[in-house]
Structure 1
Amino acid sequence: MMTDGTAEMVRAYEDGLGASLGERGLILLRLVFPDETEASRASTPVGRRDAALLDLFSRMFGGVAEALTDCPRCGEKIEMEVPLDAIRAPAPTDESTRFTLTIDGGQIVYRLPNAGDLAALGAAKELGDVETARRALVRRCFVAKEDRSDLSEHDIERLAAAMSESVAKADPQAQVLLELDCPSCAARWSAPFDIVEFLWRRMEARVSVLLREVHVIASSYGWTEDEILALSPFRRRRYLELIGA
């Protein structure tokens, strides 16, 4: 069962205030999979998380995400619309999440990064740079080594490359790049698309409007927040019109 209920959205937004994007991604999965356990949602591979959040965005806000970025060459601000169907990757035909890598004749077992990994890395204040976070992610995805020794620096680098290749094949929605060009200086570049950031920004604007509506309606009728949020958008608009707001 999936839900994008108004009250649930407001609670999810409140829970994610001050959280990292990784933590917010896991929080948003509650709106898609409310009947699953937290552990089950956390084990969702990143690309499958993002595919679910693309569907949620479409249901809540339509099939186009609006983006704003700066040209890296001339600094021009560029507004664009991103059709979500254009960045959807085909669903993987293989449901495998574990893989084996052979290094120097020995085998290392690893798994795909998941929503829980990104949430944990986002919550870890000591991971202050991209390289440290990348290495921490590799270690989190390490499952077993044939000789039972710890991962060496060589292992980590080889495992990072293998994970990148595995994700591209087994979880393609996890790696989405937008191809951008500047109309002013003709610069061309690629930039990652993070559905969590886009969805959260739209939710922030929606929640701000909703809470104002709750304030106005509650002030006039004395109803509780839950009662007002349970109303359909049409009925909330009609009550606001009757109030004269």
Structure 2
Amino acid sequence: MREIIFDTETTGFDPQNGDRMVEIGCIEMINRVETGQTFHCYYNPQRPMPKAAEEVHGLSDIFLSDKKLFSEGATELLDFLQDSNLVAHNAQFDFKFLNAELVLCGYKPISQFRMIDTLAIAKSKHPGAKLSLDALCSRYGIDRSHRVKHGALLDAELLTQLYIELTGGRQIGLGLAEDGKTQEAARDMRSASQRTERKQFMAPREHRASDEELAKHKVFVEGIENPLWSEV
């Protein structure tokens, strides 16, 4: 089963008001195991970056000025996504922007039947709790110390770990693999685990009872009154 965990950065909250997607980061997983294949791209939004948005992700007008337009890289992105399910945190937001960009350059929107929302999963598991990506990473012990500002690929990496935890933990990906790519990823994970958890074992000892122990056992058994086995 192939899934793409992804995140976007934008100029604001609503593409209907002219906001645009400026960054997307995607990570490929097969059978809940990361394959190492990623897709990451910045886009020129062809509009000024609001100060409030820049403070969140740090992407300025100057930085984005020489980046490609979404229409120039849409085919490359769609080739990576293929027909896989797409996993995002508060996925309605990311789908809204991704589909708006696709429609603007003449592509069909991606069906929401392919959408998996980790926010909805977290709500069902932790009702009433804080459910931001930061809060859930803290709950599950996922290191986010390197996350100074939002970034699409960085947040997708964190979300990949969170998605695994929300859906059962790492053991899910260690079953029978469907193809060589998954087998290799699973072997790498097991190998890393073995390197960090190598145990020391005691030398085997003799387990056969001694003659003295056998004699004591015989006396004990013979001293039992009305044993059940005497009735057989």
TM-score w.r.t. length of structure 2: 0.28
Larger Rg, first or second structure (1 or 2): 2
TM-score w.r.t. length of structure 1: 0.27
Higher helix fraction: Structure 1 or Structure 2? 1
